[in-house]
Structure 1
Amino acid sequence: MAYSVHSSHGQQTADLTIRFLQATARRIAAAEAWYRRAQSRRIIAALSPEQMKDIGYPVVDDIASLEVEAGLMTKLQSMR
């Protein structure tokens, strides 16, 4: 009776190692992307309105808003 010299255990271990490294690489890439977005937001928040206009970023006045009467929220709360 002949026994196989090759084992599938070594291949399974290699597959697990590769998947672990790929998952780790994805997590590192996601963390780097999050850091770059946060850094960009900090930089944009520090810009003056003139600088924001220069780069074409919407000025706060251009963002749609809704004006509400002073007592409306109190009135709506009392209607519950």
Structure 2
Amino acid sequence: MAYSVHSSHGHQTADLTIRLLQATAHRIAAAEMWYRRAQSRRIIAALSPEQMKDIGYPAVDAIPSLDVEAGLMSRLQSMR
């Protein structure tokens, strides 16, 4: 009966370490993206309407909206 000189335990430990490092790097990158997005939103929220127009950010009235009459939702809910 022959025994292997090399153990697979070291290989499994290395794989786990690599996966842990990759998962950690992924979470750090996601947190950085979230922080940058939040920072951009704070900056945009602090701009005046004139500054927003200067940078070409869509005006509030340019955002599509839908006007619904007062009792429509109640009427639609009762149709179920």
SS of alignment partner, residue 23 of structure 1: helix
Which structure 1 segments of 5+ residues have no match? none
Which structure 2 segments of 5+ residues have no match? none
Match of 1:61 in 2: 61
Distance 2:12 2:4 in 1: 16
Shift of 1:66: 2.6
1:21-69 Cα deviation digits (max 9, x unpaired):
0011001100110111111111111111110011110011211223344
- RMSD, aligned CA: 1.9
Amino acid at match of 2:41: R
Matched, 1:31 2:31: yes
Amino acid at match of 1:6: H
Match of 1:77 in 2: 74
Structure 1: 4+ residue segments shifted above 4 A: none
Matched, 1:19 2:16: no
Amino acid at match of 1:3: Y
Normalising to structure 1: TM-score of the pair?
0.81
